[in-house]
Structure 1
Amino acid sequence: MNIRYLLHNAYAVGGTIRTVFNQANALCATHDVEIASVYRTGEKPALPLDPRVRLVSLTDLKPDGTRWGGAGARPFNRTRLLRNPLPHGRDFRYSRFDPWVDLSVIRYMRSQRDGALITTRPALNLLSAWFAPRRLYRIGQDHMNFGSYRRRLQQRIARAYPRLDAVTVLTRKDLESYRAALGDRVPLSRIPNGIPARTARPVPAPGRAPVVIAAGRLGRQKGFDLLTRAFAPVHAAHPEWELHIFGEGRWRQRLTTLIDKHGLTGTVRLRGLTRDLDGEFAKASIFVLSSRKEGLPMVLLEAMGAGLPVVSFDCPTGPADVVDDGANGLLIPAEDVDALTAGIIRLIEDASERDRLGAAAAVTGAAYAMPAIVPLWEELFADLAAARTPADRVPVSGPPNPRRT
C-alpha cells in the first residue's frame, strides 16, 4: 500500500519527527512510504531515515518564511494570514502557514491516487479533513493531547475530524477525551509511539557516569526551568553529579541565565542537539522528564528502552501510561519542583533501586519497540479497507470529484 506522511518540518529534531521516521522505517519493508515536509531547514534530515523511504519538500521555505538555499526572503503577510479562510487558525503553528503554503499542501494531498494519507498535527489534520480526496484513507494523528488545545481549536477539531477515516491517539486518557468530543462519528484508535528495536543490551549501572540526563526543545513545554530549579538542592547534596540537557530552542538564553542564577554553571550543561541520543543515554545514570504537558513522550520511551531509571512529572498526558511508580520509575506530581528534587536524590542515593528500576524500564521500553507497534498500524489499515464500500471508492483515473472532497 502507498503510505504518505505529512510533517511540518522533517528536517528538525523532535518527538513527532522521530515517531514518524520510526514508523516509516518500520513500514517501508512492506509498503511504499513517502514523507512530505511542508518546510525545510536542512540539506539532509537530522534523523536516520531508511533509504527506501522517500523524503520530499512541498515548499522551499524555512519556518521563518525565508527560502531554503539562500534564494532570498519571502516574509509572511500577516494581513493575509488573518484573512485566510482555511480552517486551521488555532493551531499554534498557523503563524507559519500562508495561503501559498496551504495550496502546496492541498495540491500534494489531491495528487495522491490511493493508499493512506497520515497527517501529524491539527493544522494538517484539518486540511486533510476538508480537502484531501476521499479515495484515500485519511488518518489524523495527534502527537500532543486534546486537552492541551485552545477551545477554538477543539471546536474546529470536533467539527472536522469526523470527516476523516480514522484518528489515532497515543494514550488511554486522550482516547477518552476524543471519545467525549467526537463520539462515534469517526473511528478512534490508540496506537502508542514506537521506538526502534534495540540491538544491544542496556549498559549496566556500574558502567554509567554520575549524570542526570534530559532532552527536548528548549521552551516552556519541556519544563527545563523547573528542572533547573529542582537540581539546585541536588547539587548542594551531591556536587559530583551533573545535569545534561540536550536540545535547542528559544529558551536557551533564559535557561543559561537561570543556571547562572542558581550557581549551577558547569553543573547543569546545555549540550545542544545530538545525533546519538541513545549513546548519551548509555552513559547517563538517571533520566528526568520535567514537561508541563506531553502526548506520549518519545524521549521517555527511548530512555526506558536504554535501561535508564526515570523520574517523571505526571503531566498530561503520557507518563502515567508508561511509568508505574516505584516499579519501573518514579512518577512525580505535575510541576512539583520539591518532589522532583526528592525523586532525583532518592535515586542518586540508592544505587540498588537505580539498578532495579532501570532493569524494569528496559522491559517496558521493549513493549514499545516498533515490532510490537507495527501490527497495530497493519490492523488499522485492514479495518479501513474492510470498511470501504464500492460507493466510497473514487476511480484513480482523472481528477478528484469535487463533490466528494
Structure 2
Amino acid sequence: MKIRYLLMHAYGTGGTIRTVFNQASSMAAAGHDVEIASMQRGRDEPHFPLHPGVTVTTLVDHRPGARDAELAAAGRRAAERRTEREGQPPRYVPPGEFAYERYNRYVEDTIIDWLERQRDAVIVPTRPGLNFLTARFTPRSCRKIAQEHMNLGTHPADIRAAIQREYPRFDAVAVLTHGDREDYQELLPGTRVVRIPNAVHSGEKKLTTYADQVAVAAGRLCPQKGFDLLIPAWAQLVEKFPEWQLRIFGTGEKKAELRRQINEHHLYNHVFLMGHTHKLDDELARASFYVLSSRFEGLPMVMIESMTHGLPVVSFDCPTGPADVLTHGKDGLLVRRKDVDGLAEAMGQLMDDEGLRADMGAAALQTSRSYTPEAVHPQWEALFEEIHGSGSA
C-alpha cells in the first residue's frame, strides 16, 4: 500500500513532526511504500530519526541559495511568474491558520501539483491548511485521511467554517482524544471521525528515583504553554521548598518576558530557562515530577513521554488532552484551568511527599503503556487497510 504523509516542515522539531516520523517508520517497517512530502525545508537533514525505507520529498526549499538556484534554472519567464505568485496571498488557506504566513499562491500551487500527481495512495495531511488543499485536489484514485493535532475549540471561526465545509470530503478524520472526537463529530455529522492518540517514541527509558528535588516543564516559550502562570505558582513554594528547582525546556518568542518574570519574583536560583535540549529523556529521568501549565492542548506528548520515565504529573485541566490521559489522584493531579494558586498547591503536595510521587509515578508508567508504538501503530495500519480497501485505491 502507498501511504503519503503531507507535513508543513519535516525538518523541524515539533511534536507533530516526531509523531508522523514514528508513524511513517512503523508503516515502512511493515512493508508499505511510504513517503513524507514536506511543504518547506530549512535544513539539510531531518531532526528526528526515520526508517531508511521512507522517502522525504521537499516541495519548497528555503535553505540558503536554494531559491536563487531554482530561479536561475527555471528561466526568466518562469522565474518572474514564481516571484509574482510568491507575493500573492493563498486562495484556499484562511487567515486563521496558525501558520498562515508560511502560505502564498506559489506554495499552494506547489502543494496542489504534488497532490494531483498522486495515484492509488492513502494521503494523510497533518494540519488544517494542508487538509483543506488535500480535500479539494486529491485524485479520485486516492483515499484521504485528515489528521487533526489540535482541539476544535482552539481554531478561529474561519478555520472551523472551512473544516465544516471541507472535511466531509475525507474518508476519515483522525483526532487525538475522546473529547476531540465528540466535538468534531458534532460539527461533521455523517463524516467518519476516529480517535487514535499519538504514540510516544520508542526506546529504552530510564526511570526516575523520585529523590532529586527537580520539576520539569517543556514546550515552546509561547502563550499557549502558560509558563507565565507556572512561574508565579512556583514563587509561592520557594519559602517552604527552597532546595527545589523548576527547569523549563524550550525556546520561543516569550523568553525575555519569562526571564523578566523570573527576576521580578526573585527566582533566579529556583527557576531555570534551559533552552532546547537533544537529551530531554535524560532530563526527565533526573526529575521527580512533570508540570503542564498549558492554556490549551491537543494531546500533550511531552507529558506522556515524562510518564514513560515514571514521572507523576501536575497539570491544568485545559481543554482536551490532560484529562483524557490522567486520572486525578492516581497518576497525577488535575487543577482548574489557569488556577495559579491551585497549581501551586498541587505541586506542593508532590514536593512534600516522596512516597506520593513514587505511587503516582508507578501509576503514570502504567498509563503510558497505552501510548506505546506497539499499542497505537496497529490502529493506524488497520485504518489504512480499511480505507484503502473501501474504494478504488
**TM-score (normalised: structure 2):** 0.92
Give the C-alpha shift of residue 147 in structure 1: 1.2
Change (3 A) 1:76 1:280: farther
Matching residue of 2:111: 105
The one-letter code of the counterpart of 2:58 is S
Tell me if structure 2 keeps the 8 A contact 1:76–1:98: no
Tell me if structure 1 keeps the 8 A contact 2:42–2:61: no
Tell me if structure 2 keeps the 8 A contact 1:197–1:366: no
Matching residue of 1:197: 202
Tell me if structure 2 keeps the 8 A contact 1:286–1:310: yes
Matching residue of 2:39: 38
Partner-residue secondary structure (3-state), 2:194: strand
Partner-residue secondary structure (3-state), 1:326: coil
CA distance in 1: counterparts of 2:385 and 2:194, whole angstroms: 13
CA distance in 1: counterparts of 2:126 and 2:260, whole angstroms: 34
Task: Determine which of 157, 164, 174 is the counterpart of 2:163.
Answer: 157
Give the C-alpha shift of residue 382 in structure 1: 2.3
Change (3 A) 1:77 1:284: farther
The one-letter code of the counterpart of 2:150 is M
Matching residue of 2:278: 275
The one-letter code of the counterpart of 1:220 is P
Change (3 A) 1:24 1:310: same
The one-letter code of the counterpart of 2:308 is G
The one-letter code of the counterpart of 2:235 is A
Point out where structure 1 has 5 or more consecutive residues left out of the alignment.
Answer: 394-405
Worse overlay, 22-31 or 84-93:
84-93
The one-letter code of the counterpart of 1:15 is G
The aligned runs of 1:168-179 (5 Å cut-off) are 168-179=174-185
Matching residue of 1:401: none
CA distance in 2: counterparts of 1:79 and 1:48, whole angstroms: 35
Render the CA deviation track for 1:156-184: whole Å, top value 9, x for unaligned: 11000011111100011110111110001
- Aligned-pair identity in percent equals 44
Render the CA deviation track for 1:359-400: whole Å, top value 9, x for unaligned: 110111111101000121122112213321xxx45xxxxxxx
Task: Determine which of 73, 77, 80 is the counterpart of 2:88.
Answer: 80
Matching residue of 1:403: none
CA distance in 2: counterparts of 1:168 and 1:100, whole angstroms: 28
Tell me if structure 2 keeps the 8 A contact 1:126–1:160: yes
Q: How many residues align?
A: 382
Change (3 A) 1:270 1:379: same
CA distance in 2: counterparts of 1:308 and 1:372, whole angstroms: 20
Task: Determine which of 120, 127, 143 is the counterpart of 1:121.
Answer: 127
Partner-residue secondary structure (3-state), 2:238: helix
Partner-residue secondary structure (3-state), 2:236: helix
Matching residue of 1:343: 346
Worse overlay, 351-360 or 225-234:
225-234
Give the C-alpha shift of residue 196 in structure 1: 2.6
Matching residue of 2:19: 19
CA distance in 1: counterparts of 2:203 and 2:367, whole angstroms: 13
Partner-residue secondary structure (3-state), 1:39: strand
Give the C-alpha shift of residue 134 in structure 1: 2.4
Change (3 A) 1:211 1:378: same
Change (3 A) 1:204 1:163: same
Tell me if structure 1 keeps the 8 A contact 2:209–2:288: no
Partner-residue secondary structure (3-state), 1:55: strand
Change (3 A) 1:292 1:67: farther
Matching residue of 1:4: 4
CA distance in 1: counterparts of 2:317 and 2:167, whole angstroms: 28
Change (3 A) 1:371 1:332: same
Tell me if structure 1 keeps the 8 A contact 2:40–2:61: yes
Tell me if structure 1 keeps the 8 A contact 2:94–2:158: no
Render the CA deviation track for 1:23-77: whole Å, top value 9, x for unaligned: 1222220122222211223222222222222222211127xxx766997999998
Tell me if structure 2 keeps the 8 A contact 1:212–1:284: yes
Tell me if structure 1 keeps the 8 A contact 2:174–2:194: yes
CA distance in 2: counterparts of 1:61 and 1:258, whole angstroms: 35
Tell me if structure 2 keeps the 8 A contact 1:196–1:369: yes
The one-letter code of the counterpart of 2:44 is E
Tell me if structure 2 keeps the 8 A contact 1:7–1:35: yes
Matching residue of 1:291: 294
Tell me if structure 2 keeps the 8 A contact 1:172–1:321: yes
**TM-score (normalised: structure 1):** 0.89
Give the C-alpha shift of residue 340 in structure 1: 0.6
CA distance in 2: counterparts of 1:108 and 1:44, whole angstroms: 21
The one-letter code of the counterpart of 2:381 is E
The one-letter code of the counterpart of 2:95 is G
Render the CA deviation track for 1:93-145: whole Å, top value 9, x for unaligned: 11211011111111122222222111110000001001121222211100011
Point out where structure 2 has 5 or more consecutive residues left out of the alignment.
Answer: 72-81
The one-letter code of the counterpart of 2:299 is L
RMSD of aligned Cα (Å): 2.2
Partner-residue secondary structure (3-state), 2:61: coil
CA distance in 2: counterparts of 1:69 and 1:274, whole angstroms: 30
Matched, 1:53 2:63: no
